[in-house]
Chains A and B, each alone.
Chain A
Amino acid sequence: MLEADALTCIRDDRTLFSNLAFRLKPGEALVLEGRNGSGKTSLLRILCGIRLPDAGAVTWGGTDIGKLGPDYHVHTAYVGHRDGIKLDLTPLENLAMARALGKPNDTTLEEALDKVDLYGFEDVLTRNLSAGQQRRLALARLLITETVLWILDEPFTSLDVHGIQVIEELLDRHTSGGGMLAVTSHHAVNLANTTIQRINLSELST
């Protein structure tokens, strides 16, 4: 279980949010809302462990994530605002690297590409794919390692209607299988079988 307690984030002398607390249980999704610059990305980076909160703590199963380090990262997957894929590698090479960085599961790389509708593009340089295809490749990373908590920053950016639907189905399947999800999105997030917890950061600050 992921728990945040009294989180504060200060950026350039501006308090983005303070005293933020929530609890995310298996099967649940956390959707962060708020205006641009309200601290959604900063909060996700704090949840990942890339950024330290200015006050408060994030705990995983009762232990501070900073103390857990790699033992926490093995359970999480993060797709940030930047795709985290190399444009001069093929989708297969990109996924092979991503898989080696975590704990591999049973899904083969080809299956993962197929699930995000990229089958047939596995040997094309990623540079030659469209922005939406690159985004789907980044999201394919989620499928190839054994992770519980998915942290996604605007996963639907540059996806078309069909792409959004494909990804929403993946997310829904993940949470209904006991996974957790923390996501920011300007699109409405439609997950039929998932309890969604919404936090609006613009309403919290001030």
Chain B
Amino acid sequence: MNSDSLLRAFTLLLKRDLTLAMRHRAEMINPLLFFVLVTSLFPLGIGADPKLLQAVGPGVIWVAALLAALLSLEGIFRSDFEDGTLEQFLLSSHPVSVLVLAKVLAHWLITGLPLLVISPLLGVLLGLPGDAILILLVTLALGTPVLSLIGAVGVALTVGLRKGGMILSLLVLPLYVPLLIFAASAVDTAAAGLPVTAHLSLISALLVLALSLSPLATAAALRISLS
């Protein structure tokens, strides 16, 4: 198979998933709504003391982003598994890992990108200083693709199980923890006016690692789930 037809399959699959998402807009908005609601409920729950909010803000936003991603993960493969299109991907004449990458990219565009866009607003809501909001955006831009990529491996492993949701959380959350620690602490550090290059380098490293390994692992996991 030449690279032209592979590229066509990639873009067509990406387009297909985006079309399907547009035809199910309610499902698409769910994670975003969850993200906004959780973050905006915190000031009501713990009191509107600006210092306190500034201190917990980065952590709250990142935990909410992480849970919102978790909420939407199953969508990557569930419906394709149920109607048999996933089998067709495995039987395609293209490398499965490339097709997986298209699906993960679509998932990120549908669920990760909206979080990114709305996050500055939530930063302002929690009273984060301007520098911290900028770093929050950078960490989310680098971090949300990692959430989708790692999540895809977990979903691929559990998609064949009837009640895979619980196992999925247990499987994926521990792998999210390093990202959560570095990202939240990067925003904290930026709020204190200190340099954050070390944090950002580490998150970028996580992204590169996930980008190179996760599609292969996901493809292998799908084969196991479907056999």
Q: Which residues of A contact B (CB under 8 A)?
A: 45, 48-52, 70-71, 73-74, 76, 78, 80-89, 93, 96-98, 100-104
A78 to B92, CA, bound (A): 10
CB contacts (< 8 Å) of B90 on chain A: these are 50
**Residue among B82, B91, B94 facing the most chain A CB atoms (10 A cut-off):** B91
CB contacts (< 8 Å) of A87 on chain B: these are 83
- From 82 to 121 in chain B, residues with beta carbon under 8 angstroms from any chain A beta carbon are 82-85, 87-95, 99
Q: Which residues of B contact A (CB under 8 A)?
A: 1, 5, 8-9, 12-13, 16, 19-20, 23-24, 79, 82-85, 87-95, 99, 226-227
Q: Do A93 and B19 touch across chains, with their CB atoms under 8 A apart?
A: yes
In the complex, what's the smallest C-beta–C-beta distance from B141 to chain A, in angstroms? 30
A93 to B24, CA, bound (A): 16
Contacts A/B (CB < 8 Å), 14 sampled: A45-B227, A70-B92, A71-B93, A73-B91, A80-B84, A82-B83, A84-B87, A85-B85, A86-B85, A89-B19, A100-B13, A101-B9, A101-B89, A103-B93
Q: Which of B79, B83, B93 contacts A83 (CB 8 A)?
A: B83
- A84-B84, A97-B16, A103-B1 given; 7 more Cβ-contact pairs under 8 Å: A50-B87, A50-B91, A70-B1, A82-B83, A84-B85, A93-B19, A102-B93
In the complex, what's the smallest C-beta–C-beta distance from A14 to chain B, in angstroms? 17
CB contacts (< 8 Å) of B85 on chain A: these are 84-86
A88 to B93, CA, bound (A): 24
Q: Do B93 and A101 touch across chains, with their CB atoms under 8 A apart?
A: yes
Q: Do B16 and A74 touch across chains, with their CB atoms under 8 A apart?
A: no
Q: Which residue of A lies closest to B80 (CB)?
A: A86
Q: Do B94 and A50 touch across chains, with their CB atoms under 8 A apart?
A: no
Q: Do A73 and B84 touch across chains, with their CB atoms under 8 A apart?
A: no
Q: Do A100 and B12 touch across chains, with their CB atoms under 8 A apart?
A: yes
Given A85-B85, A101-B88, A70-B95 contact (CB < 8 Å): yes
In the complex, what's the smallest C-beta–C-beta distance from B147 to chain A, in angstroms? 25
Q: Which of A52, A86, A101 contacts B20 (CB 8 A)?
A: A86
Q: Which of B16, B24, B93 contacts A73 (CB 8 A)?
A: B93
A51 to B95, CA, bound (A): 18
Q: Do A70 and B227 touch across chains, with their CB atoms under 8 A apart?
A: no
Q: Do B9 and A100 touch across chains, with their CB atoms under 8 A apart?
A: yes
